[in-house]
Structures are given as C-alpha cells and as structure tokens.
Structure 1
Amino acid sequence: MEGVTTLAPLIAGLGTGLSLIVAIGSQNAFVLRQGLRREHVLPVVLVCALSDLVLVAAGVAGLGVLVSNAPVLLAVVRWGGAAFLLVLAVQAARRALRPATLEAAGGGLRMSVGAAVGTALALTWLNPHVYLDTVLLLGSLAAAYGESGRWVFGAGAGIASIVWFTTLGFGARVLAPVFARPVAWRVLDGGIALVMAVLAVVLVVR
C-alpha cells in the first residue's frame, strides 16, 4: 500500500509535466529544428532538460510564491521574451522566403554550439510562462502531496522533461527523409516563424 501511495504523486507529476511541455512552443520548435538538422542536439537537449529540472525544483521548494508576488520581474521577462521571439520569427521567416539560403541536407547555415546553447537558454528563461506554469502551477500542485510527496511529484515532472526533450531532439531524425527536400525546410521555418510571432504577441497582450 505504501508503494502505491508513493507511486501516485510520481505518476501525477509525470502526467502534469508532460501536459505542460508537450504543447508546441518556441522552445519545442527550436529543439525539433536542431534535431532535424542533427546539430548540437545533445547540448540543446541538456540545456532544456536541466533548466526544467531547476524550475521544477524551485517550484516544489516554494519559489512560486515569490514569483507570483514579483509583477515587475514578470513584466521585464515578458517584454524581453517577446522581443527575442520576434527576432527569431523574422530570422525563420527569412529562411522560409529565401530558398537560396537553404541547403537540402541542412536547412541553412550551421549554428555554432555557443549560439545554439544561448538560444535554448533564452527561449527557456525569457519565457514568463515557465515561471507561471512550471514554478507556480507545478509548485502549487506538488504542495497538495505534503512535505515528502511533493518531491516525488517533482521527480515525476522532472522525468517528464528529460523524456520529452530527449525524444524530441533525438527522435526528430526519424523525419529526416521528409526534410531531405528544401521545400520541407521552408514549410518548417514558416511554421516556426508563425508560432514564435504569435507567442510574442500573446506575451505582450496577456
């Protein structure tokens, strides 16, 4: 019976974590693109997964209360994140509209590992939704399981992040035959540009 009790918050954390990160967003779009290009996939996946683990731990530890009481901080992150997303949207749109810059096997110029890691960090930490969802929401849900159970819940959410980003990054190569054609990269970059532009607007108007 004790094992079942321990397993319940773990499963709840796993399900909640997946429901929060699986939705298409700027971070997922970037991980997917790097996975399709087979470019710096491990560093990008590590940055995204480890960042999520830090955010989940912060939420479980109770940092969500501090975040909810810091509207100035959230406003700064919101506007900074929106500006960054718009820059990425313009870059993706340019790649989609200018097929001459595309390479059949690579989808454009290669990105340095530093630029890839920096972009992954910015897409994670400049997104105010991660503070509201991962820190505040997950933290609140975890608190319902008590002092010991909340960390089991957090462990489940952390496992969800690791599994998702690993699958998204390294599993993207399954789609490689589709993206052997430049037109597929144009469609992907067009979709990424749209997603990031919409998210930038949403960040500002919410």
Structure 2
Amino acid sequence: MNFFLQGLTMGIAYDAPIGLANLFVINSALTQSRRKSLLTAIIIIIFDVSLAFACFFGIGAIMKKFEWLQLIILLVGSLIVIYMGINLLRSQTTDISAEATTEMTLFKTISSAFVVIWFNPQAIIDGSMMLGAFQVTLPSYSHPIFIAGVGIASALWFILLSIIVSKFKDKFNAKVLRIINLVCGFIIILYGGKLFWNFITLLLA
C-alpha cells in the first residue's frame, strides 16, 4: 500500500503543474460538449500513462543516447505545437453552448493528444529523471504497484479537471472564453517556441 501511495502522490506531482496536457484538457472542457471533453481527457490519460510507463522504464536514457532522435522529435513537435497555438488564436467563439461548439473529430483529438504528450522531449527527459530516479530506489517487486499508482493519479487528475471545468463553463460568456483561448494559445506557442529553441541549441551544439 505504501508503494501505491508513493506512486499516487508522484503521479499528482507529475501531472499537476500547468503544461500542454492540462491546457488541452481545459480548452476541450470549455469548448466541447461534456461527453466529448471527457473522451478527450480519457485519450490524454492513455497517452500520459503510456509516457509515464516509458519514462519509468528508461526511454529518456534512449533519447539522451541518440541525439538524432531528440532532434527529430524537437523539430516536428515544436512546429506542430506552434501550429496548435496559432489555431487557438485564430478560433472565433461566439457561443459556448454545446449545440454551437464545433466538435473536433476523433482522429484530430487523438493525433493532437499524442503530439501534446509524446512530442515534448523535455517532458520525456524530466519524467525519466523523476520516475526513473524513483525506480532505482524501489525494490523490483514494487514496480507494478508504484506505476499503477502513477496511472491512477493521472486518471483522477485529468477526469476531475475535465468535469470541474465543464461544470462551470456556463459561467463564462463568449468574450471570456475568447480571452481564455487567446491566453492558452499564447502559452502553447511559447511552449512550441521553447521546443524549437531547444532544437536550434542542440543542432548547433
């Protein structure tokens, strides 16, 4: 039980800081129907948990070993993230009712969630340092229990985030939602710019 609780608290610490995944879930909850926003949260959870597993078992070490892999992920990831941010800035919101919002296709939701989670090399390396370092301190028999706690923390975090934002989104009018979109868009573009700068730095190193 102790190992499970350690995984649960580590998972919350891993997911709670504001990042692309949280912004993606928040924006979906504000602009999509409750059903679609929950589906988006579940898709994010699947990719987030798969990344946590990969970090726990050492994918960060592989990325550090193969510099070309880092370069590819940094370049492609930065460009796609910037494109997502620009789309948010360009989006026009006149009505935030479930009937008026434009639902994202399932393919677009899955592909965008995949990019948000897996095309952020910094998140992969940071996650590997956090979870990988913890793995070294744990006995091997506790690994499944610990990583299960991390996975459940991810599920609880993103589902609760989606439900809470969806529940209170009616408090926002179209103007407020537009401002939120602009803020999220700018933050996402900054994330993309940081990734691209990391690509340039690594390329010139």
Query: The TM-score by the shorter chain falls in which range?
Result: 0.7 to 0.9
Distance in 2 separating the partners of 1:25 and 1:164: 13
Distance in 1 separating the partners of 2:30 and 2:117: 20
AA partner of residue 143 (structure 1): V
Give the count of matched residue pairs: 195
Deviations 1:119-177 (A, max 9, x none): 11221121213321334431221221121123322122111111111111222122222
- Does structure 1 conserve the Cα–Cα contact (< 8 Å) formed by 2:51 and 2:118? no
Deviation at 1:62, TM superposition (A): 3.7
Residue 171 (structure 1) aligns with: 164
Distance in 2 separating the partners of 1:14 and 1:89: 31
Residue 69 (structure 2) aligns with: 73
Distance in 1 separating the partners of 2:58 and 2:197: 28
For residues 1-206 of structure 1, the aligned pairs below 5 Å read 6-7=1-2, 9-39=3-33, 40-95=36-91, 99=92, 101-105=93-97, 109-179=102-172, 181-206=173-198
- Does structure 2 conserve the Cα–Cα contact (< 8 Å) formed by 1:26 and 1:192? no
Deviation at 1:63, TM superposition (A): 3.6
AA partner of residue 157 (structure 1): V
- Does structure 1 conserve the Cα–Cα contact (< 8 Å) formed by 2:51 and 2:117? no
Q: Which runs of 5+ in 2 are unaligned?
A: 199-205
1:177 is paired with a residue of what secondary structure? helix
Distance in 2 separating the partners of 1:35 and 1:102: 16
1:175 is paired with a residue of what secondary structure? helix
AA partner of residue 11 (structure 1): L
2:97 is paired with a residue of what secondary structure? coil
Distance in 2 separating the partners of 1:90 and 1:79: 17
Distance in 2 separating the partners of 1:108 and 1:43: 16
- Does structure 2 conserve the Cα–Cα contact (< 8 Å) formed by 1:59 and 1:139? yes
Distance in 1 separating the partners of 2:58 and 2:189: 32
Distance in 2 separating the partners of 1:110 and 1:103: 13
- Does structure 2 conserve the Cα–Cα contact (< 8 Å) formed by 1:60 and 1:150? no
The share of aligned pairs that are identical, in percent, is 21
RMSD value, Cα: 2.1
Q: Which runs of 5+ in 1 are unaligned?
A: 1-5
AA partner of residue 198 (structure 1): L
**Which segment is superposed worse, 60-69 or 19-28?**
60-69
- Does structure 2 conserve the Cα–Cα contact (< 8 Å) formed by 1:143 and 1:150? no
2:6 is paired with a residue of what secondary structure? helix
Deviations 1:4-62 (A, max 9, x none): xx41x322222222122111122211111111234322331222111122222223334
1:110 is paired with a residue of what secondary structure? coil
AA partner of residue 142 (structure 1): Q
**Which segment is superposed worse, 40-49 or 75-84?**
40-49
Distance in 2 separating the partners of 1:171 and 1:161: 15
